[in-house]
A and B are shown apart, each in its own frame.
Chain A
Amino acid sequence: MSEATQTIDSHPQTEAAHHPGVGIYLMVAVFLVVLTVMEITVFYVPALKTVIVPVLLILAAAKFALIAMFFMHLKYDSWTLSWIFVFPLTIAALLAASLLMLFAYLSHHLA
């Protein structure tokens, strides 16, 4: 791990003080379970087939955000870390969307 003399450590007490308590962790876990149950329910309810894609995407995004913000502490840590993660995450989403659209055109065109 880091070895050079000039690296900077934030003190653990400060880190711990900025992290949420056990109560918050448990509450987030409950939310995650509820959201997952909702996802599975959406899968099995025929009436929701027409909106399954946006609903599932929103639920997944909510779970992703909860874990990243609370379990991974992005909500409590430096903005630098958020930038370092969110920028490539956005690029990743754009990449996936672009490839899907390009191949969708290709499939449609060939068909």
Chain B
Amino acid sequence: MAAQPKPLAPEPQNYLEGGGLLGWLTTVDHKRVAVLYCAAALVFMALGGIEAMLIRVQLWAPDNHLLSAAVYNEIFTMHGTTMIFLVVMPLEIGFFANFLIPLQIGARDVAFPRINALSFWIFLVGAFFLHLGWLWGGLPDAGWFGYANLTERYFSPGLNLDFWVVGLLILGVSTVLSGLNFLVTIVTMRARGMSYMRMPMFVWAMLVTVVLILIAFPPLTVGLIFLTFDRFFGTHFYQATYGATPILWQHLFWLFGHPEVYIMALPAFGMISEVVPVFARKPLFGYPMMAYSLVLIAFLSYGVWGHHMFATGMGPVADSAFAITSMLIAIPTGIKIFSWIATVWGGSLRMTTAFYFALAMIIEFTLGGLSGIMHASSPVDLQQTDSYFVVAHFHYVLFGGAMFAILAAFYYWWPKITGRMMSEGLGKFQFWLTIIGFNGTFFPMHFLGMWGMPRRIYTYSPGLGWTHLNQLETVSAFILGLAFLVMYINILRSLRSGEEAPADPWDGRSLEWSVASPPPAYNFARVPEVRGRDALWVMKYGRAGSRGVAMFMAGHTPPMPESQLAPPTEPIHMPAPSILPLAIALAIGVAGVGLVIGEWRVIIIAAVTLFVAVVGMGFEYPEHGRESHDPDSAPSSGGVDPRKVGLWAFLGNECVFFASLISTYMVYKSRNTGSPGADILEIPLTSISTFALLMSSLAMVLALAAIQRNDKRWMRVWLGCTIALGLVFLAVEAYEFTHFYHRGLALQTNLFGQSFYTLVGFHGFHVSIGLLWLATLWCASLSDRFDKLRALSVELAGLYWHFVDVVWVVIFTLVYLMQQVKGA
């Protein structure tokens, strides 16, 4: 986008300098946002670590009552929730991906900088929300996967689970926004010459991860919405007493939950794929297969959720299918492991702390993967389910895999991020403490699990033979805690008095090492042109990789390209700061509090604030959104508008959201026993609203055609028609709902009522959002500045509107016209 409000001065200035506190609160610089994520995640990592220590202290001895059973439930729930949502994901996606994706692809920022800042602030609000129980009614206590119907109001009447449900919904918004942003950035903002098969493997891993985020989070969102309805509005989505099934939650949760494992693992794979070649001084072995295996892992990961549910009795066919897919996923994962080993093999190894952690990750993650294959066999899994064997497995995957990779990444990229080196001595001390502590804590859990120790028990009887291994684990856990203390000391030491880092301290291979450490706010003085895979290596040594190794062996310093270290020759336009992302996030937080305490006035005030802030963000810089004819903004890659890519990706995400709602409706319609049922639906009435919505889509495209020929008058007429027809649709829906209510069908009446109102109501909500968007556009079109260069704004609103229409096409068929058809 060409027009930007605040050009930077041409002199180099690193991104950490200037701005003060307000500068950080209003920043939209991807590097600063990344640092904010890092700071928050490190705080939560300490908190989650303390929770882990409390768990281990409690299990030190049999019949220990240091913690009550209730408090123990809270501690392990928050430990899992914190480590997954507030530590591993923010560090991998919020911190490293945020910082590195633009730098590695040769871009000056992410595609939507203000939305990037918004993601962080929403994340922070969601994180605080999860912890509000410290002040109000206790912490969540139903486990990180919050199985129904333990989470229902009847069994958990306090506010603690309300905070958990709403907190996770808020965190989900943040993650999806980040996912959309990174997807668009990678697809549309790669430097000239950086084809997909030249991208650094970390960028590949993030591309696949964000796609996974976009298809994995909607089922969780839908599951949480049902739970919210159960807890706040008296529905019974998960209560067997009313004909519903708690198994629905398990399906929706694990449809998210297993891909979530790979959402945490794939960035780790990407990190290791960056660290290993640099310290082995060899190109990554089997680059294409590494990329394809990422895609295959992601695809398969969406089809293995059932292996978490073998014990629920899904039947032999389903069990076999999930067992096969779960075993298949070991193949692409094995490809990655062998590729890393082959990269190390025969390399000129430099045994840095980062490399230590990378090598350890390969070993520890493989151990976790091997126990994972055991779970793929349903008969074996039945023996291991809910035992400490499972706890051992997932800690080897998530700590041994994700956390070890994060630690490698910390030591590898820290000099680039802060401009300071970390102490290698302290790093290696931390490494050995981590290895001893980690394996001492989690390896014995395999044995305890096989000996029958269930997970989540707050104490155990003496004489079961579990005491000594539990004591070994507790001692080891404290060694692990000490390791992280050493890391925090190393971080503080580096920030205060660490040796200054050069631009390329490791003789790196990717573009981030071509700019100063820390990078200037604009990243690249001149946008680089990429001539091969390992872009910087090619710049330094040419295409022949062996030449670089020969120079290294001979002790020569590589020739560093100077172009990026020189100051820019002309002003570089960068996005201006904005306070609105923070304001929007706060409004979301206030709305959440209003929901939990049942204060509708608070919710309404927050919703109005939210609407004003969102619209304000749209109009914050009037030049934004205008099409550019500047030849300098010609496509360097992708060739498609980032906003369009973002909207289409969002619509893809919405497809999965509505699929989850629709399939729930189909399932519950068939299980519905009470009256009224689906026969209450009236086709003639709904046919009218269906025609109205279809014709509104026609009016919408006519409005677009009008603005494209610069005919503002007719654009406003057709836009007005679209709005009017949308209002007709909503009016018919409102009449239908009222009519059904008077005939005895309320939201809480039966399974049909709750699933019908939720599905159709959410569609109506989307129509309302579309109408607000169109009305805002109509008002904006009154301005003289609104001309054909704004056609894309109309097209984007139109895309959303047409999507609402196609969803209704599906709903009209499956819900109304197939009302007599028995489903699941």
- Interface positions of A (Cβ within 8 A of B): 1-12, 15-16, 19, 21-22, 25-26, 28-29, 32-33, 36, 39-40, 42-44, 49, 52-53, 56-57, 59-60, 63-64, 67-68, 70-73, 77-78, 80-81, 84-85, 87-89, 91-93, 95-96, 99-107, 109
Contact = CB atoms under 8 A, between A and B. Distances in A.
B642 interface: yes
Interface residues of B, number: 112
B694 A33 contact: yes
B110 to A, nearest CB: 7
Interface in B612-657: 618, 621, 624-625, 627-629, 633-646, 648-649, 651-653, 655-656
Contacts of A60: 809-810, 812-814
Contact of A4 (B1, B306, B634): B1
16 contacts: A5-B4, A5-B109, A7-B111, A8-B636, A11-B629, A29-B694, A40-B687, A56-B817, A67-B805, A84-B648, A85-B652, A88-B653, A96-B662, A100-B663, A106-B315, A109-B313
B824 A1 contact: no
A8 B659 contact: no
A33 B697 CA distance: 12
B247 A85 contact: no
A102 B251 contact: yes
A59 B314 CA distance: 33
Given A6-B109, A42-B817, 5 more contacts: A7-B633, A10-B640, A12-B708, A22-B705, A81-B644
B585 to A, nearest CB: 18
B817 A92 contact: no
A7 B573 CA distance: 12
Contacts of A7: 1, 111, 188-189, 633, 641-642
Interface in B509-544: 527
Contacts, number: 260
Contact of B656 (A9, A73, A88): A88
Contact of A78 (B113, B184, B640, B659): B640
A24 to B, nearest CB: 9
Contacts of B527: 6
B762 to A, nearest CB: 15
B171 interface: no
A52 B618 contact: no
Contact of A12 (B315, B656, B691, B792): B792
Nearest to A26: B698
A78 B671 CA distance: 43
Given A1-B643, A81-B644, A22 B702 contact: yes
Contact of B791 (A16, A42, A80, A85): A16
B788 A12 contact: yes
Contact of A3 (B114, B183, B792): B114
A67 B697 contact: yes
A97 B658 CA distance: 13
A2 B643 contact: yes
B712 interface: no
A87 B802 contact: no
A5 B251 contact: no
A44 B806 CA distance: 23
A3 B112 contact: yes
B818 interface: yes
B500 interface: no
Given A16-B791, A29-B695, A91 B640 contact: no
B290 interface: no
Contacts of B627: 9, 11-12
Interface in B551-570: none
B814 to A, nearest CB: 8
Contact of B634 (A8, A12, A49): A8
A95 B575 contact: no
B659 A33 contact: no
Contacts of B655: 85, 88-89, 91-92
A105 B318 contact: yes
Contacts of B799: 72
Contact of A8 (B110, B188, B318): B188
Given A8-B188, A22-B705, A105-B314, A99 B251 contact: yes
B700 A71 contact: yes
A92 B670 contact: no
A2 B112 contact: yes
